[in-house]
Amino acid sequence: MSPPFPPPPPTAVAGGSSTLAAPPAGPSASSVALVKPPGVPCPPFEYRHGRRWINTSSIYTAYPLPVDARELARQTLLHRLFYTIHGAHHCSPLPPDRQLRRILDLGCGTGLWCADMSDTVNKHNREVAARMGEVPVMVEMVGIDLVPVYTDMTGVRFTFMQHNFLGLPLPFDDGSFDFVLIRDGALAATSRDVMGGILDEMVRVLVPGGFYEIHTWDLVIRCLNPPTASSTSGTSSILSVSTSSTSSTTPPPFYPITSTTTLHTSTNPYTTLLNDRLVKTLSNLDLPPFPVTIVPPALTMIPHSTLVGSRKLALPLDEVTWENPNGGITTLTTGTTSSSSSHTSSSHPPHKGSFQRPPPPPRSRAGSQADGKSVRSAASTSDIAGAAITATDPIATSVLTPHARATRKIARMVYVGVVEALEPMIKRECGIDDEDWDRWWDEAKWDWFENGGWRNGECLEMGAWWGVKDLEGG
């Protein structure tokens, strides 16, 4: 039985040339395909809710995220965040005696990983070639995605294939690649897809001895408890990139999650309610709310491969009270500074039809910075020219390095960005109207960004796993 999609034509290559193999026939294939039946032309994009989306009538799957400039900017920030926490564009070791010729990125998106990984691998290939007396090879980066939204690839040997990677088997011969990556794919693959074939296909298209990597993160927010000495021992290699210039008493940008790490449910009312809404929405869409949890058991079922390593990290979204009781974001109360060690809201989380709003940020008729848009403290008088700032600047009291503050700010932007991308689905699945959502979402962001709502250790849980195809793998 042939796969439910036609063999792909030769694809255009930026900076090189290549022809991809036709899809191999297999005994079974997914019913998910990118191309609509012939004779039914569809534009690739449509505009809904003020954003650009993939036209779901042109594909047999409902990709839940938009594909506009805002979403691509979020993906760019996430790319930088992954690089920051891992210290490289890959976690698995590159073979010291072998050049890499082809690398596959499943769900390549902006293509930034392909571009950066190309630089890394080409440098590796030159070093191996010099050591082994060989001619250096320029690696070919192959990217798969639903639509082409990748960046300029000048100088990169890049091949793009428009294909839904849920359509199995992948359209490549066995042993076609030296390295395969899937990153941030939890919102593109259902729980059933993760457990039922994608990982097997990643290994099938690898050469024996080739590496695969999976990077993902959880949308559900939990709180990190203070790490013990044992939980941070032996992790210098993980933190070396981000803490090389800090003292032993300076908190790192993120913390390794080990067997002794403990996390607890967030007590922030906005975070708790959003967690519930995300779990309901993703579960209704058959998407995994906790991909960091489901990936490890799925990896144990991949044949002809060996899991080599893994890494789980907790990236706090703000300066945590146990890092610095006097730091963090200052509440906007005129003439005072608030950095409570345990943030609580004076109201219960709002819900549809019954909103109980927290105290709003103070408004200034004189045009001071107490307008709810600045994390700086408010002036104690209405005298604009000589207003005295009596509240403490949170940056001045912070014990975090500028790098750590920037890393956590990027994490906040990535999280808020993905929630806003999922907003139409959340409202639909949870029965929330536009007015209720807009009011609640504005209050939530004010609480998190300007009221210290994420100072209890709320964090992103991020994971990476890498393995190798057995030398005698099938």
pLDDT at residue 388 in the model: 39
pLDDT at residue 8 in the model: 38
Mean pLDDT of 342-358: 43
* Cα–Cα distances in angstroms (integers) from residue 185 to residues 78, 87, 88, 453, in the given order: 12, 21, 19, 29
pLDDT, greater one: 42 or 100: 100
- If phi > 0 it is left, if psi is from -120 to 50 it is alpha, else beta; for residue 337 that is beta
The pairing of beta strand 102-106 with beta strand 140-145: parallel
Mean pLDDT of 60-66: 75
pTM metric for this prediction = 0.77
pLDDT at residue 191 in the model: 67
376: buried, middle or exposed (CB in 10 Å: 19+, 13-18, 0-12)? Answer: middle
Long-range contact pairs involving 237-242 (C-beta distance under 8 Å, separation at least 24) = 238/87, 238/311, 238/313, 240/87, 241/84, 241/87, 242/84, 242/85, 242/87, 242/403, 242/404, 242/407
Q: Give the mean pLDDT of the chain.
A: 78
pLDDT of 143 over the 70 cut: yes
Residues of the chain with CATH 3.40.50.150: 13-218+290-313
Lowest mean pLDDT segment, chosen from 139-153, 296-310, 356-370: 356-370
pLDDT, greater one: 359 or 57: 57
pLDDT of 166 over the 60 cut: yes
* Cα–Cα distances in angstroms (integers) from residue 344 to residues 193, 223, 266, in the given order: 39, 14, 11
* Cα–Cα distances in angstroms (integers) from residue 263 to residues 135, 290, 293, 448, 457, in the given order: 51, 14, 14, 19, 9
pLDDT at residue 36 in the model: 38
Domain 13-218+290-313 has CATH 3.40.50.150: yes
pLDDT at residue 213 in the model: 97
User: CA-CA distance, 363 to 43, in Å (whole number)?
Assistant: 47
pLDDT at residue 386 in the model: 40
Who contacts 241 (Cβ-Cβ below 8 Å, separation ≥6)? 84, 87
pLDDT at residue 34 in the model: 35
Lowest mean pLDDT segment, chosen from 223-227, 357-361, 421-425: 357-361
Lowest mean pLDDT segment, chosen from 213-217, 261-265, 332-336, 465-469: 332-336
Contact 180/205 with Cβ under 8 angstroms?
Answer: yes
* Cα–Cα distances in angstroms (integers) from residue 470 to residues 208, 303, 352, in the given order: 6, 9, 54
pLDDT tier at 193 (50, 70, 90 boundaries)? Answer: low
pLDDT at residue 298 in the model: 86
Q: How many CB atoms lie within 10 A of CB 47?
A: 11
10: buried, middle or exposed (CB in 10 Å: 19+, 13-18, 0-12)? Answer: exposed
* Cα–Cα distances in angstroms (integers) from residue 102 to residues 79, 176, 213, in the given order: 21, 7, 15
- Residue 140 corresponds to which tokens in the numbers above? 């070919």
pLDDT tier at 302 (50, 70, 90 boundaries)? Answer: confident
Task: Give the DSSP H or E segment for 141.
Answer: strand 140-145
CA-wise closest residue to 331 among 366, 378, 365: 378
User: CA-CA distance, 325 to 339, in Å (whole number)?
Assistant: 7
pLDDT at residue 357 in the model: 45
pLDDT at residue 391 in the model: 45
pLDDT of 12 over the 70 cut: no
Q: How many CB atoms lie within 10 A of CB 196?
A: 15
pLDDT tier at 474 (50, 70, 90 boundaries)? Answer: low
